Amino acid sequence: MSSSSDVHPGPGAVGLEASALDTTSARTQWAKQLRIRRIAPGDPLGDVLQLRREVYFQERGLQPDADVIPHRHSRRVTDGLDASGTTLVVESNQQGVATLRLHDFSSLAAQVEYGSLFQLDAFARSWPLHALAVATRFAVQADQRAKPVVQHLFQELYRWGHESGIRFCMIACEPFLHDVFEHFGFREYLPPAILPGGVDLLRMVLVMEEAPRWLERSARLDREELGEPHDQTSRHWLERTFSALR
């Protein structure tokens, strides 16, 4: 894997702490004003690019060509993988405020870019590539980092995974985002990866069969929409295969 910021937001990019996931009744009406949209592979990304630019660079006082984060694609607002990924965007007042990009590993480009980082070969010996996914390009606007926004984003991730037959969804993030992703069902399954420049990346995975349980905890999405959990085959396989989960 040659680029970390394609997988995680980069240092300081999404200043989202687990405490931001606490809800209050005052946010309920505001949450109703949010909507989620999927951008299909190859479709224009619209204001998603501006959102990434704001979060990855402008918040840190950087320019997109600033040589600060020494990873191959870390300074790009967009890359070739945007054309093949499904991009989720949460909108408030018709403006994108949170985004996440999704690929399943039947995409050769995703295999080349992320396969080594996530030890894809270990999964591929037991599962079809189209049942394995990676989430990248996570970004949340600075003044929108509260539970309803992030919750909408992960609700749609769960829906997409269910509709696409995904068993496992992988993500990499910096340690300060661990509690956020854990809140939505991701678990570390490998030791942290140390990238050039000394950046630590946590490698985490979501077992999609457990999504209904996480929805009960953190979302309003109807359980029937996703169905009952699978037979736990995925979870048992994961725990047998990766010692970090035992």
Domains in the chain, ordered, with CATH? 18-245 (3.40.630.30)
pLDDT in tens, 24-66: 544 555 556 899 999 999 999 999 999 999 998 888 776 655 4
Side-chain half-sphere of 162: how many Cα atoms within 13 Å? Answer: 20
In this predicted structure, the answer to whether residue 200 has a pLDDT above a threshold of 70 is yes
DSSP alpha helices (H): ranges in 87-196?
Answer: 108-114, 120-124, 147-164, 178-183
Q: What is the pLDDT of residue 146?
A: 76
Q: What is the pLDDT of residue 116?
A: 96
Percent of the chain topping pLDDT 90:
55
Q: What is the pLDDT of residue 143?
A: 87
- Rounded to whole angstroms, the Cα distance separating 189 from 159 reads 23
Indicate the pLDDT class of residue 6, thresholds 50, 70 and 90. Answer: very low
Q: What is the pLDDT of residue 110?
A: 97
Q: What is the pLDDT of residue 195?
A: 83
In this predicted structure, the answer to whether residue 12 has a pLDDT above a threshold of 50 is no
pTM, two decimals, is 0.80
> Could you give the C-alpha distances from 220 to 21, 95, 229, in angstroms and in order?
15, 22, 17
- Rounded to whole angstroms, the Cα distance separating 207 from 25 reads 30
